[in-house]
Amino acid sequence: MFSKTTEYGIRAMIFIMSNSLQDKRVRLKEIAAAIDSPESFTAKILQNLSKANVVDSVKGPHGGFEINKDKMQTLTLIDVVIALDGNKLFEGCGLGLKACNSEKPCPLHQHFLEVRTKITAMLVENKIIDLAQDLQTGLSFLKQ
């Protein structure tokens, strides 16, 4: 479903959020350890999330990653997915046809739309902050 990039990205964002809730900035090393991901690859992913303004980064001693107060309440999974994978998941024909639309649909067109709607809803409805709270209360986990 998701690319590795997006899997690590979502896990990283939930971990960063759980720290930002306590005003704690976290370093790459801590993040990679907490979510059990390859450090350098995670660095690249965070770089991209930072460019996309989904997360904030600070260089130097006491630097690291954090989510600013403004975004805390609004960030959802779809922001992370779009920042990392673009609109791949939402656009294009499910069977790979170049021009598939309701006038000239592929055999799965309508069925695909329904699945896509379900996925989109899931991504829009889930706030990173809520997922981070589940993590903090021990209701969910980010590794193993």
Partner DNA sequence: TTTATTTAAGATAAACTTGTCCTAAATAGA
Partner DNA sequence: TCTATTTAGGACAAGTTTATCTTAAATAAA
Chain residues in the site for a second copy (CB under 8 A): 1-2, 4, 7-8, 10-11, 14, 77, 89, 94-100, 104-109, 111-112, 114-115, 118-119, 122, 126, 131-132, 134-135, 139-144
| String of contacts with DNA for each residue 38-57, x by CB under 7 A | xxxx-xx-xx--xx-----x
Residue among 4, 63, 67 at smallest CA distance from 36: 4
Question: In angstroms, how far is CA 27 from the centroid of its own chain?
Answer: 18
Q: Which residues pair with 58 in a beta bridge?
A: 64
**Minimum distance of a second copy from residue 25's CB (angstroms):** 21
Distances from the Cα of 95 to the Cα of 2, 3, 101, 118, angstroms = 17, 18, 12, 18
Residue 137 or 144 having the CB closest to DNA = 144
CA 78/CA 128 separation, integer angstroms: 10
Interacting residue ranges for DNA, rule: CB under 7 A? 3-5, 8, 26-29, 38-41, 43-44, 46-47, 50-51, 57-65
